[in-house]
Structure 1
Protein backbone atom coordinates (compact mmCIF):
# COMPACT_ATOMS: atom_id res chain seq x y z
CA UNK A 1 0.00 0.00 0.00
CA UNK A 2 1.97 3.03 1.21
CA UNK A 3 5.78 3.07 1.09
CA UNK A 4 7.43 2.26 4.38
CA UNK A 5 11.15 2.20 3.58
CA UNK A 6 12.90 5.00 5.45
CA UNK A 7 16.49 4.04 4.56
CA UNK A 8 16.83 5.97 1.31
CA UNK A 9 18.14 9.54 1.29
CA UNK A 10 17.52 11.97 -1.58
CA UNK A 11 20.81 13.46 -2.73
CA UNK A 12 19.69 15.55 -5.66
CA UNK A 13 17.75 18.81 -5.82
CA UNK A 14 14.07 18.69 -6.60
CA UNK A 15 12.04 21.04 -8.77
CA UNK A 16 8.81 21.57 -6.89
CA UNK A 17 5.58 20.87 -8.70
CA UNK A 18 2.14 21.50 -7.24
CA UNK A 19 0.35 18.35 -6.21
CA UNK A 20 -2.40 17.60 -8.73
CA UNK A 21 -6.00 17.64 -7.65
CA UNK A 22 -8.53 14.91 -8.12
CA UNK A 23 -11.15 15.20 -10.83
CA UNK A 24 -12.97 18.53 -10.43
CA UNK A 25 -16.53 17.21 -10.36
CA UNK A 26 -18.14 14.42 -8.34
CA UNK A 27 -18.91 12.31 -11.41
CA UNK A 28 -20.17 8.81 -10.69
CA UNK A 29 -18.97 6.15 -13.08
CA UNK A 30 -20.50 2.85 -14.07
CA UNK A 31 -19.02 -0.27 -12.49
CA UNK A 32 -17.04 -1.03 -15.65
CA UNK A 33 -15.71 2.53 -16.00
CA UNK A 34 -14.81 2.71 -12.33
CA UNK A 35 -12.92 -0.59 -12.49
CA UNK A 36 -10.98 0.56 -15.55
CA UNK A 37 -10.03 3.90 -13.98
CA UNK A 38 -9.05 2.23 -10.72
CA UNK A 39 -6.90 -0.25 -12.61
CA UNK A 40 -5.07 2.61 -14.35
CA UNK A 41 -4.59 4.35 -11.03
CA UNK A 42 -3.18 1.21 -9.42
CA UNK A 43 -0.72 0.75 -12.28
CA UNK A 44 0.57 4.29 -11.80
CA UNK A 45 0.75 3.76 -8.03
CA UNK A 46 2.77 0.56 -8.47
CA UNK A 47 5.27 2.41 -10.67
CA UNK A 48 5.43 5.23 -8.12
CA UNK A 49 6.07 2.73 -5.31
CA UNK A 50 9.00 1.34 -7.29
CA UNK A 51 10.41 4.85 -7.74
CA UNK A 52 10.07 5.41 -4.01
CA UNK A 53 11.88 2.17 -3.22
CA UNK A 54 14.84 3.20 -5.40
CA UNK A 55 14.99 6.70 -3.90
CA UNK A 56 13.58 8.52 -6.94
CA UNK A 57 11.19 10.56 -4.85
CA UNK A 58 10.51 13.32 -7.38
CA UNK A 59 9.56 10.74 -10.02
CA UNK A 60 7.41 8.98 -7.46
CA UNK A 61 5.53 12.22 -6.73
CA UNK A 62 4.83 12.64 -10.44
CA UNK A 63 3.50 9.10 -10.79
CA UNK A 64 1.38 9.34 -7.65
CA UNK A 65 -0.07 12.51 -9.14
CA UNK A 66 -0.96 10.63 -12.31
CA UNK A 67 -2.58 7.95 -10.18
CA UNK A 68 -4.68 10.65 -8.47
CA UNK A 69 -5.75 12.01 -11.85
CA UNK A 70 -6.97 8.55 -12.91
CA UNK A 71 -8.77 7.66 -9.70
CA UNK A 72 -12.50 8.45 -9.37
CA UNK A 73 -12.72 11.39 -6.99
CA UNK A 74 -15.34 9.76 -4.76
CA UNK A 75 -13.01 6.91 -3.74
CA UNK A 76 -11.73 8.70 -0.67
CA UNK A 77 -9.61 5.85 0.69
CA UNK A 78 -7.75 5.26 -2.58
CA UNK A 79 -7.02 8.96 -2.91
CA UNK A 80 -5.94 9.24 0.72
CA UNK A 81 -3.39 6.47 0.17
CA UNK A 82 -1.90 8.40 -2.74
CA UNK A 83 -1.79 11.72 -0.89
CA UNK A 84 -0.21 10.02 2.11
CA UNK A 85 2.40 8.43 -0.16
CA UNK A 86 3.17 11.83 -1.68
CA UNK A 87 3.64 13.15 1.85
CA UNK A 88 6.16 10.37 2.47
CA UNK A 89 8.09 11.46 -0.63
CA UNK A 90 8.17 15.08 0.52
CA UNK A 91 9.45 13.96 3.92
CA UNK A 92 12.33 12.19 2.19
CA UNK A 93 13.06 15.37 0.24
CA UNK A 94 12.81 17.44 3.45
CA UNK A 95 10.04 19.49 1.87
CA UNK A 96 8.19 19.96 5.10
CA UNK A 97 5.43 22.35 4.02
CA UNK A 98 4.55 20.19 1.01
CA UNK A 99 4.51 17.12 3.25
CA UNK A 100 2.05 18.85 5.61
CA UNK A 101 -0.21 19.80 2.70
CA UNK A 102 -0.25 16.29 1.22
CA UNK A 103 -0.77 14.55 4.56
CA UNK A 104 -3.61 16.98 5.34
CA UNK A 105 -5.34 16.00 2.11
CA UNK A 106 -5.11 12.38 3.17
CA UNK A 107 -6.45 13.12 6.67
CA UNK A 108 -9.32 15.20 5.27
CA UNK A 109 -10.32 12.41 2.88
CA UNK A 110 -10.34 9.84 5.66
CA UNK A 111 -12.41 12.17 7.84
CA UNK A 112 -15.16 11.98 5.22
CA UNK A 113 -15.25 8.22 5.69
CA UNK A 114 -14.73 8.00 9.43
CA UNK A 115 -15.43 11.32 11.19
CA UNK A 116 -13.50 11.72 14.43
CA UNK A 117 -15.93 12.12 17.37
CA UNK A 118 -15.91 15.63 18.80
CA UNK A 119 -15.68 16.32 22.54
CA UNK A 120 -19.05 16.45 24.28
CA UNK A 121 -20.69 19.88 24.27
CA UNK A 122 -23.58 21.56 26.06
CA UNK A 123 -26.92 21.24 24.33
CA UNK A 124 -28.28 24.71 25.01
CA UNK A 125 -31.04 25.90 27.34
CA UNK A 126 -31.59 22.88 29.52
CA UNK A 127 -27.87 22.33 30.12
CA UNK A 128 -28.04 18.74 28.93
CA UNK A 129 -25.06 17.36 27.04
CA UNK A 130 -25.15 16.07 23.53
CA UNK A 131 -25.44 12.33 22.92
CA UNK A 132 -22.27 10.79 24.28
CA UNK A 133 -20.18 7.75 23.44
CA UNK A 134 -18.45 5.54 25.96
CA UNK A 135 -15.57 7.98 26.53
CA UNK A 136 -17.63 11.14 26.89
CA UNK A 137 -17.50 11.94 23.19
CA UNK A 138 -20.32 12.97 20.94
CA UNK A 139 -21.76 10.13 18.87
CA UNK A 140 -21.19 10.70 15.15
CA UNK A 141 -24.34 10.26 13.09
CA UNK A 142 -23.90 8.79 9.62
CA UNK A 143 -25.58 10.96 7.01
CA UNK A 144 -26.55 9.87 3.50
CA UNK A 145 -23.35 11.20 1.93
CA UNK A 146 -21.12 9.39 4.43
CA UNK A 147 -23.16 6.21 3.96
CA UNK A 148 -22.62 6.40 0.21
CA UNK A 149 -18.89 6.91 0.69
CA UNK A 150 -18.77 3.90 3.01
CA UNK A 151 -20.50 1.83 0.33
CA UNK A 152 -17.78 2.94 -2.10
CA UNK A 153 -15.16 1.91 0.45
CA UNK A 154 -16.69 -1.53 0.89
CA UNK A 155 -17.02 -2.03 -2.87
CA UNK A 156 -13.25 -1.56 -3.30
CA UNK A 157 -12.56 -4.21 -0.65
CA UNK A 158 -11.58 -1.83 2.17
CA UNK A 159 -12.93 -1.41 5.68
CA UNK A 160 -12.99 1.19 8.44
CA UNK A 161 -10.10 -0.68 10.03
CA UNK A 162 -8.05 0.11 6.90
CA UNK A 163 -9.15 3.74 7.16
CA UNK A 164 -8.01 4.00 10.76
CA UNK A 165 -4.63 2.40 10.06
CA UNK A 166 -4.05 4.82 7.20
CA UNK A 167 -5.12 7.76 9.38
CA UNK A 168 -2.36 6.83 11.84
CA UNK A 169 0.20 6.82 9.04
CA UNK A 170 -0.97 10.14 7.59
CA UNK A 171 -1.09 11.83 11.01
CA UNK A 172 2.42 10.60 11.87
CA UNK A 173 3.72 12.02 8.60
CA UNK A 174 1.98 15.35 9.09
CA UNK A 175 3.15 15.60 12.70
CA UNK A 176 6.73 14.87 11.65
CA UNK A 177 6.64 17.56 8.94
CA UNK A 178 5.02 20.12 11.25
CA UNK A 179 7.64 19.41 13.88
CA UNK A 180 10.44 19.96 11.36
CA UNK A 181 8.98 23.31 10.26
CA UNK A 182 9.74 24.40 13.83
CA UNK A 183 7.48 27.44 13.99
CA UNK A 184 5.21 28.16 16.92
CA UNK A 185 2.09 27.43 14.84
CA UNK A 186 3.50 24.28 13.23
CA UNK A 187 4.69 22.90 16.57
CA UNK A 188 1.20 23.50 18.01
CA UNK A 189 -0.21 21.56 15.06
CA UNK A 190 2.27 18.74 15.63
CA UNK A 191 1.26 18.58 19.29
CA UNK A 192 -2.41 18.33 18.28
CA UNK A 193 -1.63 15.51 15.84
CA UNK A 194 0.41 13.58 18.40
CA UNK A 195 -2.30 14.08 21.02
CA UNK A 196 -4.89 12.68 18.64
CA UNK A 197 -2.60 9.74 17.91
CA UNK A 198 -2.09 9.08 21.62
CA UNK A 199 -5.84 8.46 21.97
CA UNK A 200 -5.94 5.85 19.22
CA UNK A 201 -6.29 2.37 20.77
CA UNK A 202 -4.87 0.53 17.75
CA UNK A 203 -1.54 2.39 17.74
CA UNK A 204 1.38 0.02 17.14
CA UNK A 205 3.98 -0.18 19.95
CA UNK A 206 6.72 1.57 17.96
CA UNK A 207 4.33 4.31 16.87
CA UNK A 208 3.11 4.71 20.45
CA UNK A 209 6.72 5.12 21.57
CA UNK A 210 7.27 7.79 18.91
CA UNK A 211 4.14 9.64 20.03
CA UNK A 212 5.06 9.54 23.73
CA UNK A 213 8.55 10.82 23.01
CA UNK A 214 7.22 13.63 20.82
CA UNK A 215 4.68 14.74 23.43
CA UNK A 216 7.52 14.92 25.97
CA UNK A 217 9.88 16.85 23.70
CA UNK A 218 7.40 19.33 22.20
CA UNK A 219 6.49 21.54 25.22
CA UNK A 220 9.99 23.06 25.66
CA UNK A 221 10.29 23.49 21.89
CA UNK A 222 6.93 25.27 21.84
CA UNK A 223 8.06 27.61 24.61
CA UNK A 224 11.32 28.34 22.83
CA UNK A 225 9.56 28.99 19.51
CA UNK A 226 7.06 31.30 21.22
CA UNK A 227 9.83 33.34 22.83
CA UNK A 228 11.80 33.48 19.59
CA UNK A 229 8.86 34.64 17.51
CA UNK A 230 7.68 37.12 20.12
CA UNK A 231 11.19 38.61 20.26
CA UNK A 232 11.27 38.80 16.48
CA UNK A 233 7.86 40.49 16.40
CA UNK A 234 8.88 43.00 19.07
CA UNK A 235 12.06 43.74 17.15
CA UNK A 236 10.06 44.51 14.02
CA UNK A 237 7.62 46.68 15.97
CA UNK A 238 10.53 48.54 17.52
CA UNK A 239 12.05 49.10 14.09
CA UNK A 240 8.72 50.43 12.82
CA UNK A 241 8.33 52.68 15.85
CA UNK A 242 11.85 54.08 15.45
CA UNK A 243 11.06 54.93 11.84
CA UNK A 244 7.99 56.90 12.94
CA UNK A 245 9.74 58.67 15.84
CA UNK A 246 13.00 59.49 14.06
CA UNK A 247 11.76 62.79 12.46
CA UNK A 248 10.98 64.01 15.99
CA UNK A 249 14.45 63.17 17.30
CA UNK A 250 13.07 60.30 19.37
CA UNK A 251 13.23 56.52 19.46
CA UNK A 252 11.41 53.73 21.22
CA UNK A 253 14.19 53.80 23.84
CA UNK A 254 12.63 57.04 25.14
CA UNK A 255 9.56 55.09 26.27
CA UNK A 256 9.40 52.49 29.02
CA UNK A 257 6.58 50.33 30.31
CA UNK A 258 6.51 50.49 34.12
CA UNK A 259 4.47 48.09 36.23
CA UNK A 260 2.40 49.43 39.10
CA UNK A 261 2.98 46.90 41.87
CA UNK A 262 -0.18 47.96 43.70
CA UNK A 263 -2.61 47.53 40.82
CA UNK A 264 -0.63 45.15 38.64
CA UNK A 265 -1.20 47.43 35.63
CA UNK A 266 1.34 49.10 33.38
CA UNK A 267 1.90 52.71 32.43
CA UNK A 268 4.03 54.37 29.76
CA UNK A 269 6.87 56.62 30.95
CA UNK A 270 8.81 59.03 28.77
CA UNK A 271 12.57 59.49 29.30
CA UNK A 272 13.96 62.40 27.28
CA UNK A 273 17.59 61.67 28.16
CA UNK A 274 17.80 58.52 26.04
Structure 2
Protein backbone atom coordinates (compact mmCIF):
# COMPACT_ATOMS: atom_id res chain seq x y z
CA UNK A 1 0.00 0.00 0.00
CA UNK A 2 2.82 2.36 0.85
CA UNK A 3 4.44 1.82 -2.56
CA UNK A 4 1.14 2.43 -4.36
CA UNK A 5 0.55 5.63 -2.41
CA UNK A 6 4.06 6.83 -3.24
CA UNK A 7 3.46 6.18 -6.95
CA UNK A 8 0.17 8.09 -6.86
CA UNK A 9 1.75 10.98 -5.00
CA UNK A 10 4.64 10.99 -7.47
CA UNK A 11 2.25 11.12 -10.42
CA UNK A 12 0.34 13.96 -8.82
CA UNK A 13 3.56 15.89 -8.32
CA UNK A 14 4.50 15.38 -11.97
CA UNK A 15 1.08 16.52 -13.18
CA UNK A 16 1.32 19.56 -10.92
CA UNK A 17 4.68 20.45 -12.48
CA UNK A 18 3.23 19.90 -15.96
CA UNK A 19 0.34 22.23 -15.16
CA UNK A 20 2.71 24.90 -13.86
CA UNK A 21 4.81 24.68 -17.03
CA UNK A 22 1.67 24.95 -19.11
CA UNK A 23 0.66 28.10 -17.22
CA UNK A 24 4.14 29.52 -17.77
CA UNK A 25 3.78 28.74 -21.46
CA UNK A 26 0.40 30.45 -21.57
CA UNK A 27 1.91 33.51 -19.92
CA UNK A 28 4.70 33.67 -22.51
CA UNK A 29 2.09 33.23 -25.23
CA UNK A 30 -0.02 36.06 -23.85
CA UNK A 31 3.04 38.30 -23.80
CA UNK A 32 3.80 37.54 -27.45
CA UNK A 33 6.84 35.42 -26.64
CA UNK A 34 5.93 32.56 -28.97
CA UNK A 35 9.33 30.89 -28.80
CA UNK A 36 9.35 30.99 -25.00
CA UNK A 37 5.83 29.57 -24.93
CA UNK A 38 6.85 26.70 -27.22
CA UNK A 39 9.80 25.86 -24.96
CA UNK A 40 7.55 25.64 -21.89
CA UNK A 41 4.97 23.49 -23.69
CA UNK A 42 7.70 21.16 -24.95
CA UNK A 43 9.18 20.88 -21.46
CA UNK A 44 5.74 20.04 -20.07
CA UNK A 45 5.23 17.41 -22.77
CA UNK A 46 8.50 15.70 -21.87
CA UNK A 47 7.26 15.28 -18.30
CA UNK A 48 3.62 14.54 -19.03
CA UNK A 49 2.71 10.87 -18.37
CA UNK A 50 1.50 8.87 -21.37
CA UNK A 51 -1.80 8.10 -19.67
CA UNK A 52 -2.60 11.81 -19.23
CA UNK A 53 -3.95 12.00 -22.79
CA UNK A 54 -6.22 14.99 -22.20
CA UNK A 55 -3.37 17.06 -20.80
CA UNK A 56 -1.03 15.97 -23.61
CA UNK A 57 -3.62 16.86 -26.22
CA UNK A 58 -4.01 20.37 -24.80
CA UNK A 59 -0.25 20.87 -24.62
CA UNK A 60 0.25 19.70 -28.20
CA UNK A 61 -2.54 21.97 -29.39
CA UNK A 62 -1.00 24.91 -27.55
CA UNK A 63 2.38 24.06 -29.03
CA UNK A 64 0.81 24.07 -32.48
CA UNK A 65 -0.59 27.54 -31.76
CA UNK A 66 2.86 28.79 -30.73
CA UNK A 67 4.36 27.47 -33.97
CA UNK A 68 1.55 29.07 -35.99
CA UNK A 69 2.44 32.43 -34.46
CA UNK A 70 6.02 31.86 -35.63
CA UNK A 71 4.75 30.80 -39.08
CA UNK A 72 6.38 27.39 -38.69
CA UNK A 73 3.54 25.71 -40.51
CA UNK A 74 4.96 22.20 -40.76
CA UNK A 75 5.73 21.98 -37.04
CA UNK A 76 2.32 23.42 -36.24
CA UNK A 77 0.58 20.82 -38.40
CA UNK A 78 2.62 17.96 -36.95
CA UNK A 79 1.85 18.85 -33.34
CA UNK A 80 -1.82 19.47 -34.05
CA UNK A 81 -1.95 16.05 -35.71
CA UNK A 82 -0.35 14.45 -32.65
CA UNK A 83 -3.02 16.08 -30.48
CA UNK A 84 -5.80 14.77 -32.73
CA UNK A 85 -4.31 11.27 -32.85
CA UNK A 86 -4.66 10.96 -29.07
CA UNK A 87 -8.40 10.59 -29.64
CA UNK A 88 -9.36 13.27 -27.15
CA UNK A 89 -12.02 15.75 -28.39
CA UNK A 90 -10.00 18.83 -29.30
CA UNK A 91 -11.59 21.11 -31.87
CA UNK A 92 -8.86 23.72 -31.47
CA UNK A 93 -6.24 21.22 -32.59
CA UNK A 94 -8.29 20.41 -35.68
CA UNK A 95 -8.76 24.06 -36.57
CA UNK A 96 -5.10 24.83 -35.96
CA UNK A 97 -4.05 21.98 -38.22
CA UNK A 98 -6.45 23.20 -40.90
CA UNK A 99 -4.93 26.67 -40.69
CA UNK A 100 -1.38 25.33 -40.79
CA UNK A 101 -2.26 23.18 -43.81
CA UNK A 102 -3.76 26.25 -45.51
CA UNK A 103 -0.25 27.72 -45.54
CA UNK A 104 1.40 24.63 -47.04
CA UNK A 105 0.68 24.43 -50.78
CA UNK A 106 0.95 20.64 -50.85
CA UNK A 107 -1.61 20.42 -48.03
CA UNK A 108 -4.34 22.77 -49.29
CA UNK A 109 -6.74 19.89 -49.96
CA UNK A 110 -6.13 18.48 -46.47
CA UNK A 111 -6.90 21.91 -45.04
CA UNK A 112 -10.30 21.90 -46.73
CA UNK A 113 -10.98 18.39 -45.38
CA UNK A 114 -10.26 19.56 -41.83
CA UNK A 115 -12.38 22.69 -42.21
CA UNK A 116 -15.26 20.65 -43.63
CA UNK A 117 -15.00 18.29 -40.66
CA UNK A 118 -15.31 21.29 -38.34
CA UNK A 119 -18.37 22.47 -40.27
CA UNK A 120 -19.93 19.03 -39.88
CA UNK A 121 -19.47 19.27 -36.12
CA UNK A 122 -20.36 22.96 -35.86
CA UNK A 123 -22.51 23.98 -38.87
CA UNK A 124 -23.18 27.45 -37.43
CA UNK A 125 -19.55 28.51 -37.72
CA UNK A 126 -20.01 30.42 -40.94
CA UNK A 127 -16.50 31.91 -40.79
CA UNK A 128 -15.18 28.44 -41.59
CA UNK A 129 -16.91 28.62 -44.99
CA UNK A 130 -14.94 31.77 -45.75
CA UNK A 131 -11.73 29.99 -44.80
CA UNK A 132 -12.62 27.15 -47.18
CA UNK A 133 -13.26 29.64 -49.99
CA UNK A 134 -9.88 31.26 -49.31
CA UNK A 135 -8.09 27.92 -49.52
CA UNK A 136 -9.89 27.07 -52.77
CA UNK A 137 -8.61 30.34 -54.23
CA UNK A 138 -5.11 29.35 -53.15
CA UNK A 139 -5.57 25.99 -54.90
CA UNK A 140 -6.61 27.73 -58.12
CA UNK A 141 -3.61 30.04 -57.93
CA UNK A 142 -1.23 27.17 -57.17
CA UNK A 143 -2.56 25.10 -60.07
CA UNK A 144 -2.28 28.05 -62.45
CA UNK A 145 1.32 28.62 -61.38
CA UNK A 146 2.09 24.91 -61.82
CA UNK A 147 0.54 24.94 -65.28
CA UNK A 148 2.59 27.97 -66.29
CA UNK A 149 5.75 26.36 -64.95
CA UNK A 150 5.09 23.09 -66.81
CA UNK A 151 4.37 24.93 -70.06
CA UNK A 152 7.59 26.92 -69.73
CA UNK A 153 9.57 23.72 -69.19
CA UNK A 154 7.88 22.05 -72.16
CA UNK A 155 8.62 25.10 -74.29
CA UNK A 156 12.27 24.93 -73.29
CA UNK A 157 12.42 21.24 -74.18
CA UNK A 158 10.66 21.87 -77.48
CA UNK A 159 13.02 24.69 -78.40
CA UNK A 160 16.00 22.44 -77.63
CA UNK A 161 14.67 19.67 -79.89
CA UNK A 162 13.72 22.03 -82.74
CA UNK A 163 16.88 24.12 -82.70
CA UNK A 164 18.88 21.78 -85.05
CA UNK A 165 16.16 22.34 -87.67
CA UNK A 166 16.27 26.10 -87.38
CA UNK A 167 12.89 26.12 -85.66
CA UNK A 168 11.45 26.89 -82.24
CA UNK A 169 8.11 26.47 -80.53
CA UNK A 170 7.33 30.01 -81.67
CA UNK A 171 7.26 28.58 -85.20
CA UNK A 172 4.02 26.78 -84.34
CA UNK A 173 0.61 27.73 -83.03
CA UNK A 174 -2.41 25.99 -81.55
CA UNK A 175 -5.64 26.27 -83.51
CA UNK A 176 -9.06 25.02 -82.41
CA UNK A 177 -10.40 22.12 -84.46
CA UNK A 178 -13.94 20.96 -85.18
CA UNK A 179 -13.77 18.29 -82.48
CA UNK A 180 -13.39 20.80 -79.68
CA UNK A 181 -9.67 20.22 -79.30
CA UNK A 182 -6.60 21.85 -80.75
CA UNK A 183 -4.22 21.09 -83.57
CA UNK A 184 -0.65 22.26 -83.96
CA UNK A 185 0.12 24.16 -87.14
CA UNK A 186 3.21 25.90 -88.39
CA UNK A 187 2.86 29.64 -88.44
CA UNK A 188 2.90 31.37 -91.80
CA UNK A 189 6.38 32.75 -92.28
CA UNK A 190 6.31 36.39 -93.41
CA UNK A 191 8.13 37.14 -96.65
CA UNK A 192 11.49 38.78 -96.19
CA UNK A 193 12.52 41.85 -98.17
CA UNK A 194 14.90 39.73 -100.24
CA UNK A 195 12.12 37.30 -101.16
CA UNK A 196 9.85 40.19 -102.16
CA UNK A 197 12.53 41.63 -104.45
CA UNK A 198 13.25 38.28 -106.13
CA UNK A 199 9.60 37.71 -106.91
CA UNK A 200 9.07 41.19 -108.37
With structure 2 as the length reference, what TM-score do the two structures score? 0.73
> Residues 135-214 of structure 1: matches in 2 within 5 Å?
163-164=88-89, 166=90, 168-181=91-104, 183=105, 185-201=106-122, 208-214=125-131
2:25 corresponds, among 26, 48, 52, to 48
Task: Determine the C-alpha separation between the residues in 2 that align with 1:34 and 1:67.
Answer: 14
Query: Going by fraction, where is helix more abundant, 1 or 2?
Result: 2
Match of 1:235 among 132, 152, 155: 152
Structure 2 distance, partners of 1:249, 1:34, is: 80
Structure 1 residue 177 displacement after superposition? 2.4
The number of residues matched between the two structures is: 184
Residues 66 and 261 (structure 1 numbering): CA distance in 2 closer, same or farther, change over 3 Å? same
Moved more, 94-103 or 44-53: 94-103
Q: CA deviation at 1:210?
A: 1.8
Q: Partners of 1:94 and 1:44 in 2: how far apart?
A: 23
Query: In angstroms, what is the RMSD of aligned CA positions?
Result: 3.1
Aligned to 1:108: 85
Correspondence 1:71-86 to 2 at 5 A = 71-86=48-63
Q: CA deviation at 1:87?
A: 1.4
Q: Report the Cα offset of residue 243 of structure 1.
A: 4.4
CA distance in 1, matches of 2:147, 2:73: 23
Please state how far the C-alpha of 1:200 moved relative to its aligned partner.
0.2
Structure 1 unaligned spans of 5+: 1-29, 114-162
**Aligned equivalents of 1:68 and 1:188: distance in 2?**
30
User: Aligned-pair distance for 1:70?
Assistant: 1.0
| Shift, 1:106, TM fit | 1.8
Q: 1:196 to 1:269 in 2, by over 3 A?
A: same
Gaps of 5+ in 2: 1-6, 190-200
- In structure 1, how many angstroms separate the alpha carbons of the residues matched to 2:78 and 2:135? 21
Tell me by how many angstroms 1:180 deviates. 3.5
**Whose Rg is larger?**
2
With over 3 angstroms needed to count, the CA separation of the structure-2 counterparts of 1:241 and 1:43, relative to structure 1, is farther
Q: Which moved more, 1:221-230 or 1:264-273?
A: 264-273
Normalised TM-score (structure 1): 0.55
Shift of 1:67: 1.0
- 1:225 to 2:142 alignment: yes
Shift of residue 227, structure 1, vs aligned partner: 1.6
Task: Tell me the distance in 2 between the aligned counterparts of 1:256 and 1:44.
Answer: 66
